[in-house]
């Protein structure tokens, strides 16, 4: 009753303050806290950099039974580096939801992990981006661990490559990564099939001198899932329920194919030699579904 009273008379400060004072006199502090609406509590705040995740989160939250509350996607336009987003969610700053690999690093009390794989393993399908003037040779791949691979310093997969004894050189950003490949200091850049297009869009001029090798791909389990700040249990529950509904009614499949059709086409067929790597960092009870590669 007091929630509606509070919202209805927001333009009348005197009445609002009087109503609040009366509530404080009649009800304990705990009850008063629930009488004041929090506009942020039912909003999924996440970085707006991915059209796929924006649509998926929006559609998932729209599946929620209205009796459980009203939930909405609230993408935030912020150029913050992707590597800093998890910490922002953990601290409950600008974001309260992010997506990342289901790894032990994020098993923290501040986070609730929704253990539903989102990308069909695309992040663990690593295409090899090479210089057109220096393509990989089939005989070189027989001893693939002797090649030099360019990786980002903040990629989670960098630790996986090192664990599997691959020679890696790190770069600070995508532009440096591509420039160094063009200069011939790397033999290849192993890029997740879900990210290859974004990487090439970093510099269209550089992209013209690079290509995806059709000889081999690296593959390792790396499911991508959503994490929600643990201060928002109702939001986490609504998002999980919504994702399950989308999986059941087929909408998830439709959304996924709309956004990753090109990547799926690249992986079609059996032209690639699959080189399997170990990944001991995956959450222990995470169910690994069939991979796109």
Residue 10: pLDDT over 60: no
How wide is the angle at C-alpha 232 spanned by C-alphas 103 and 123, nearest 5°?
25
Check residue 52 and give its pLDDT.
Answer: 97
- pLDDT at residue 21 above 80? no
- The reply to whether 131 and 208 lie within a common domain is yes
Shared-domain flag, residues 15 and 71: no
Give dist(CA 106, CA 108) in Å, integer: 6
250 and 206 housed in the same domain: no
d(CA 34, CA 3): 8
Assigned domain for 273 exists: no
Quick one: pLDDT band at residue 4, thresholds 50, 70, 90? very low
Rg of the Cα atoms in the chain: 23
DSSP 272: S
Residues 117 and 232 in one domain: yes
Is 103 contained in some domain?
A: yes
C-alpha dist (Å) from residue 140 to 7, 21, 136, 147, 200:
69, 77, 7, 8, 25
- Are residues 227 and 90 part of one domain? yes
Q: Which domain holds residue 92?
A: 43-121+222-264
Percentages (nearest 5) of helix, strand, coil residues in the chain: 45, 20, 35
Instruction: State whether 140 and 212 are in the same domain.
Output: yes
Residues 95 and 167 in one domain: no
Same domain, 54 and 117: yes
Domain C-terminal end among 166, 198, 219: 219
- List CB contacts of 210: < 8 A, sequence separation 6 or more: 129, 130, 131, 132, 178, 181, 182, 200
Question: Could you tell me if 111 and 250 lie in one domain?
Answer: yes
- Tell me: the pLDDT tens digits for 60-83? 999 987 667 789 999 999 888 888
Domain count, the chain: 3
Q: What is the pTM of this model?
A: 0.82
Query: Is 213 a member of any domain?
Result: yes
Residue 269 lies in a domain: no
Q: Are residues 102 and 234 in the same domain?
A: yes
Residue 290 vs residue 62, higher pLDDT: 62
Residues 70-129 pLDDT 10s: 899 999 998 888 888 999 999 999 999 999 999 999 999 999 999 999 999 999 999 999
If one counts every other C-beta atom within 10 angstroms of the C-beta of residue 44, the result is 23
- Please indicate, yes or no, if residue 30 is contained in any of the structural domains: yes
User: Can you give the pLDDT at residue 271?
Assistant: 80
pLDDT at 46 over 80: yes
Q: Are residues 82 and 151 in the same domain?
A: no
The CATH number linked to 149 is: 3.40.190.10
């Amino acid at each position: 009753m007091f929630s509606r009273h509070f919202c209805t008379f927001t333009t009348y400060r005197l009445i609002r303050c009087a109503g609040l004072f009366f509530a404080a006199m009649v009800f304990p502090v705990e009850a008063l806290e629930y009488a004041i609406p929090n506009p942020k509590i039912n909003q999924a705040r996440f970085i707006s950099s991915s059209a796929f995740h924006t649509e998926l989160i929006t559609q998932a939250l729209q599946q929620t039974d209205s009796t459980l509350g009203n939930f909405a996607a609230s993408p935030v336009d912020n150029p913050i580096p992707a590597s800093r987003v998890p910490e922002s969610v953990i601290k409950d700053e600008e974001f309260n939801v992010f997506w990342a690999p289901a790894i032990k690093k994020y098993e923290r009390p501040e986070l609730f992990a929704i253990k539903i794989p989102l990308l069909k393993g695309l992040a663990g399908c690593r295409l090899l981006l090479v210089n057109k003037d220096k393509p990989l040779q089939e005989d070189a791949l027989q001893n693939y661990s002797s090649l030099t691979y360019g990786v980002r310093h903040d990629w989670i997969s960098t630790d996986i490559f090192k664990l599997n004894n691959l020679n890696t050189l790190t770069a600070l950003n995508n532009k440096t990564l591509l420039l160094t490949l063009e200069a011939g200091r790397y033999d290849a850049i192993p890029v997740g099939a879900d990210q290859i297009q974004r990487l090439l869009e970093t510099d269209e001029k550089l992209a013209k001198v690079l290509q995806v090798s059709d000889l081999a791909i690296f593959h390792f389990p790396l499911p991508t899932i959503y994490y929600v700040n643990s201060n928002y249990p109702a939001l986490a529950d609504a998002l999980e329920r919504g994702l399950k509904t989308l999986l059941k009614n087929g909408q998830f499949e439709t959304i996924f194919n709309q956004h990753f059709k090109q990547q799926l086409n690249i992986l079609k067929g059996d032209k690639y030699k699959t080189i399997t790597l170990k990944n001991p960092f995956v959450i222990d009870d995470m169910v690994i579904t069939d991979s796109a590669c």
